Amino acid sequence: MDLKTSMAIAASGLTAQSERMRIIAENLANADSTAKTPGGNPYRRQVPTITSQFSQHLDATVVEAGKPVTDQSPFRTKYDPGNPAANAQGYVKLPNVNPLIEIMDMREAQRSYEADLTVMDASKTMLSRTIGLLNK
């Protein structure tokens, strides 16, 4: 595998992890939202997906962000009869987003992103040193 290929593979990882972090951030931003209508459903958590594909151009496997999957776990409920989104019994549906899980997922995505950056930096350094040796 040449340096250009390793940089392209790492770049595909950067793009996929960036999209993953965007979806997680959207989940966190909507963790406390409620429905717009009484008894309605609030925001539903999105689960980021990453797929791998073989790139014939690179002759290597790359990753890309797939379409997010909607988490079908049940909504949380809270008794709050004064809330405009409360149903007839006074319960409000809250999103099925657990901020602790989202933060852990965000940290994992961040570490993967950092690993891809390290690969790109190492490839860039090797390429630079090779060019330096050729110029001597």
25-48 pLDDT tens trace = 999 999 999 988 888 899 999 999
Percent of the chain residues topping a pLDDT of 70: 99
This prediction has a pTM of 0.86
What does the block give as tokens for 87? Answer: 């149903």
Looking up tokens 């940089």 gives 7
pLDDT value of position 1: 62
SS3 category, 35: coil
Q: Where are the beta strands (DSSP E) in the chain?
A: 46-47, 50-55, 60-65, 69-70, 76-79, 91-94
* Cα four-point dihedral sign 93, 95, 101, 104: negative
- Each residue's pLDDT tens digit, 98-114: 999 999 999 999 999 99
